[in-house]
Structure 1
Amino acid sequence: MHALSRSAPREAVGSVVVAEHHTPIGRLALAATDEALLYCGFFPPETVQQRLAAGGRECRDEVGAGPDQLAVMAQAQEQLDDFLAGRRRSFTVPLDPSLATPFSKEVVLAVAEHVPYGGTATYGELAAAVHRPGSARAVGKALGANPLCVMLPCHRVLGASGRPMGYAGGLRAKRFLLDLECRS
């Protein structure tokens, strides 16, 4: 499973280190505080820095990072590498989903809770799981805003036909993740 941090709320000002990490599914930007991973996704690091700065966070690269930030970043990178190589099925790095909207947070946490490694669900099934039957499109939009891709596994959600649809990293990345989990 994953470890959710009890870190500061979205409005809090704090220092964040942002770095790029090269993976088999593409370049991921990672953002870490002293306590937790705040972002793992496909936006370029510069875009992540701009968004965090607009929210009052001081951003820096790894050169200016503190030891706790670097430790969280290193743990996230190692666990991502192990996951994407099929050596890990879950993450223990502390995660801070505070960049998500309340609904997006509810949806991505529901995926993490209800859809196990190697499993899948449809957008409609997930909408029912969050007590909003009939809102599959809203669920899809919420998953598209997942600030912790891969770690909060929105890639496990499929269209009503059972086929992969939409993913921030593209369908190739989504298929890679689904195939990886089916092989392991």
Structure 2
Amino acid sequence: MNEARAFLSSPLGLLAIQGTEDGLRAVQFLAAPTGTVTATPAHQVPGCLQEAYRQLQAYFGRELQEFSVATDVVVGTGFQQLVWATLPAVTYGRTASYLDIARQLDNPGAVRAVGAANGQNPLAIIWPCHRIIGANGQLTGYAGGLSRKRWLLDFERPSLQTSLF
């Protein structure tokens, strides 16, 4: 199955979007501008990525708070996939702690494992790992960098509430 790729310009830099006809496989922040990669014009986005591209644009345009794209993630352990599956329940404007997620999984001792799984989330923003914070309210870890995590939380802040689900 052919994997398609597109690049979306966001307030946080370029996002690489990858997927197949079966669904979205990855949304990742590009580490640094390379000069050779530019945003994909909307009319050139491969068909299988058009909906994800559109929804991410709508999110950054404050027109969308909940994503509804098909996914086809083929990476991750069973535990990581369980953690990732809980993330969309932490809705726009809310945060939860790593402990909250571990408790949702009936495994309160797995806080560090939840953090590690969060760090491997292949669908940045779509599966909102940026909404997961330390039990003390501190921002900890984010594969895209803490400055991006802070920006995303501030972006959602008009209705931000610290509570799970």
Aligned residue number for residue 103 of structure 1: 79
Spell out the pairing of 1:14-163 with structure 2 (5 A cutoff). Answer: 14-42=1-29, 70-113=46-89, 115-163=90-138
* Contact 1:72–1:93 (Cα < 8 Å) also in 2: no
Alpha-carbon distance between aligned partners in 2 of 1:39 and 1:80, rounded to the nearest angstrom:
13
Measure how far apart 1:132 and its partner are: 1.2
The offset of 1:134, in angstroms, is: 1.7
- Please, which runs of 5 or more residues in structure 2 have no aligned partner? 32-39, 160-165
Instruction: Check whether the contact 1:18–1:30 (CA below 8 A) recurs between aligned residues.
Output: yes
Kindly provide the amino acid, as one letter, of the partner of residue 96 in structure 1.
D
Q: Specify the SS of the correspondent of 2:21.
A: coil
Quote the RMSD (CA, aligned, Å): 1.9
After the TM superposition, list the runs of 4 or more consecutive aligned residues in structure 1 that deviate by more than 6 angstroms: none
| Greater displacement, 15-24 / 122-131 | 15-24
Give the equivalent residue in structure 2 for 1:10. Answer: none
Contact 2:4 2:48 in 1 (8 A): no
Deviations 1:59-78 (A, max 9, x none): xxx8xxxx9x8123122112
Once residues 17 and 25 of structure 2 are traced to their aligned partners in structure 1, the CA distance between those partners, rounded to angstroms, is 8
Write out per-residue CA displacement over residues 105-148 of structure 1, whole angstroms, 9 at most, x where no aligned residue.
Answer: 110111212x1211111111111111111211110000111111
| Aligned-partner Cα distance in 1 for 2:57–2:139 | 23
Counterpart CA distance in 2 for 1:83 and 1:95 is: 17
Inter-partner Cα distance in structure 2 for 1:102 and 1:85? 34
Indicate if the aligned counterparts of 2:25 and 2:71 stay in contact, CA closer than 8 A. Answer: yes
Amino-acid identity (%): 37
Unaligned runs of 5+ in 1: 1-13, 45-61
Q: Which amino acid aligns with 2:103?
A: A
Aligned positions, number: 148
Aligned with residue 171 of structure 1, among 143, 146, 149? 146
